[in-house]
């Protein structure tokens, strides 16, 4: 016989926790005042059915004790303990869900008890009854025979119709504390002569999450050679030790790529269950949430909690859960890529007057397609175009009048320092609609004397000239000393080519075909 069956309480005083409910039921037994229906609610393994059974035995006990418990000595108690009490009927609603099963109960309820004073029906998991079954039971619950008592138990009270709940006394049981469960495990280990490590029992208690039945089931699973050790618990329940959980959390907090890679390799090599690991991580974070407030780091704790919650959910939807965990952990790495530099031939640069400073061309700036085509035609080997593109080095021969400075250029003016970034920042601060900001970030913006010039796409230009946008642009431009705004689409500045003259884009396309 399993431990949770062997140590199932037989008296109200033996039930762990639920003091208020035990007091009410025991008092009813002492005064012999009973309601015709009761319902016990909370999650599994905390004593709903146990309380119902003790109460069912007590209502028919002929020698109730002064504290309201069954005596276990009278004929009715002995018959109940031996499973021969025909006036106490226990039904699993998950198996008997139909209306015909309830009709049979209603028919039998009409007959008076055979042995005891009351005929007691214990219906476990009552929320599993069908709608028609509830409707059939409703009338009997409303006006039951005087000798009938219904004891209902459920883990999903929201599925029980309100019409049923309004006709019974409802008891909402409470979650059991870890100390109560730990004390019970210590007591059982002593009675069973099982050696144990305190930390091992505390791990079981924590994993039980308030369920007595779960804690006893796990304890029985972890007993090896009449002892319960921390290693037994970790191996039997597929747990990860708290040190590794802390190591994982610290790696996620710091974004250390090497540490995170080590975590992933360890999980993979030791075949740790991903869902179990994600569950333990979320529980560990919740248990240490006070650290977040002490360090003023709650947002970071919440990010990591959400990460492992997402891993837990998504790992159920894929065939290889480790891939989900791997990608999620790599999201926490703070990547540091080396800068990409461009080799430039300084001998090709001509002298440029000091009054026209030129910013360096960024390494990622595109090379004009005309240069690519020209170089490719000289090589006359279309298959080598990709290599040619890599070798092309942009050369600045001269600066045409009115050319736009690059984004890094900063110009000093009377009202402050102008830069495209500062211009965009002031636009956002001035309350311009956020939809145009991404368009302007791709534009070439510079200040030429008293004129602010914006080189952009035709679509962006059409938006900028709208009254609601233009007024804000004009206001911000004036803050830099600009008097006018010139919005240009680069294609409009290019000279038209004759119909017979091949375009650069066509030449480039023909080389790659």
CA distance 491 to 511: 23
CA distance 352 to 355: 8
Q: Which of 268-277, 332-341, 497-506 has the lowest mean pLDDT?
A: 497-506
What does the pLDDT read at residue 365? 45
∠ CA 124-128-131 to the nearest 5 degrees? 125
What does the pLDDT read at residue 442? 79
pLDDT tops 80 at residue 392: no
Query: If you write DSSP's letter for every residue of 138-171 in order, what string do you get?
Result: HHHHHS--TTEEEEEEES-GGGS-HHHHTTSEEE
3-class secondary structure, 74: coil
- CATH fit for domain 3-172, picks 3.40.50.300, 3.30.470.20, 1.10.10.10, 3.20.20.70: 3.40.50.300
What is the fold of 178-236? Answer: Helicase, Ruva Protein; domain 3 (1.10.8)
Burial 200-232 (b: 16+ CB within 10 A, else e): bbbbbbbbbebbbbbbbbbbbebbeeeebbbeb
Query: Which sequence spans correspond to the domains of the chain?
Result: 3-172, 178-236, 266-330, 338-351+363-398, 411-493
Output phi, psi for 416, to 5 deg: 140, -155
Residues 22-52: pLDDT tens digits? 999 999 999 999 999 999 998 899 999 999 9
Q: Which of 123-137, 165-179, 226-240, 447-461 has the lowest mean pLDDT?
A: 447-461
∠ CA 13-186-182 to the nearest 5 degrees? 75
CA diameter of the chain: 116
- CATH fit for domain 411-493, picks 3.30.470.20, 3.30.300.180, 3.30.450.20, 3.40.50.2300: 3.30.300.180
H-assigned helices in 166-197: 178-191
Pull the structure tokens for residue 359.
Answer: 């910013």
Query: What average pLDDT does this structure show over 416-441?
Result: 78
- The answer to pTM > 0.85 is no
3-class secondary structure, 225: coil
């Amino acid at each position: 016989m399993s431990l949770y069956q062997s140590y199932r309480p037989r008296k109200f005083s033996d039930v762990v926790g639920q003091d208020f409910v035990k007091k009410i039921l025991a008092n009813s037994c002492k005064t012999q005042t009973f309601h015709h229906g009761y319902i016990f609610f909370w999650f599994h393994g905390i004593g709903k059915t146990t309380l119902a059974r003790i109460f069912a035995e007590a209502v028919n006990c002929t020698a109730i004790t002064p504290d309201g418990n069954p005596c276990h000595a009278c004929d009715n108690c002995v018959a109940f303990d031996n499973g021969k009490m025909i006036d106490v009927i226990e039904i699993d609603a998950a198996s008997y869900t139909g209306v015909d099963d309830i009709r049979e109960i209603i028919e039998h309820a009409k007959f008076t008890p055979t042995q005891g004073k009351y005929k007691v029906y214990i219906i476990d998991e009552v929320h599993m009854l069908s709608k028609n079954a509830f409707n059939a039971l409703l009338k009997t619950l409303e006006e039951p025979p005087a000798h009938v008592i219904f004891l209902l138990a459920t883990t999903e009270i929201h599925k029980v119709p309100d019409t049923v709940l309004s006709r019974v006394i409802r008891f909402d049981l409470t979650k059991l504390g870890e100390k109560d469960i730990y004390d019970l495990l210590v007591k059982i280990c002593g009675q069973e002569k099982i050696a144990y490590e305190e930390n091992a029992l505390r791990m079981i208690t924590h994993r039980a999450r308030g369920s007595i039945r779960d804690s006893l089931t796990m304890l029985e699973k972890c007993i090896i050679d009449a002892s319960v050790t921390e290693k037994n618990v970790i191996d039997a329940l597929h747990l990860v030790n708290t040190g590794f959980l802390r190591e994982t959390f610290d790696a996620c907090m710091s974004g250390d790529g090497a540490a995170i890679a080590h975590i992933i390799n360890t999980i993979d090599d030791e075949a740790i269950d991903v869902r179990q690991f994600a569950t333990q991580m979320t529980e560990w974070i919740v248990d240490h949430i006070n650290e977040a407030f002490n360090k003023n780091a709650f947002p970071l704790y919440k990010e990591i909690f959400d990460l492992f919650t997402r891993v837990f959910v998504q790992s159920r939807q894929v065939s290889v859960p480790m891939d989900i965990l791997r990608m999620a952990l790599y999201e926490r790495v703070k990547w540091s890529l080396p800068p990409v530099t461009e080799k430039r031939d300084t001998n090709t640069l001509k002298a440029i007057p000091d009054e026209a400073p030129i910013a360096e061309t960024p390494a990622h700036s595109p090379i004009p397609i005309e240069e690519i085509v020209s170089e490719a035609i000289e090589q006359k080997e279309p298959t080598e175009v990709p290599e040619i593109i890599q070798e092309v080095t942009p050369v600045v021969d001269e600066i045409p009048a009115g050319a736009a400075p690059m984004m890094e250029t900063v110009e000093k003016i009377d009202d402050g320092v102008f830069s495209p970034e500062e211009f965009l920042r002031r636009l956002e601060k001035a309350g311009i609609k956020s939809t145009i900001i991404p368009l302007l970030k791709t534009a070439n913006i510079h200040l030429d004397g008293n004129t602010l010039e914006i080189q952009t796409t035709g679509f962006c230009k059409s938006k900028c000239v709208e009254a609601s946008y233009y007024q804000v642009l004009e206001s911000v431009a004036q803050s830099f000393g600009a008097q006018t705004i010139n919005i240009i689409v680069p294609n409009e500045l290019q000279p038209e080519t004759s119909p017979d003259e091949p375009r650069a884009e066509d030449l480039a396309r023909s080389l790659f075909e």
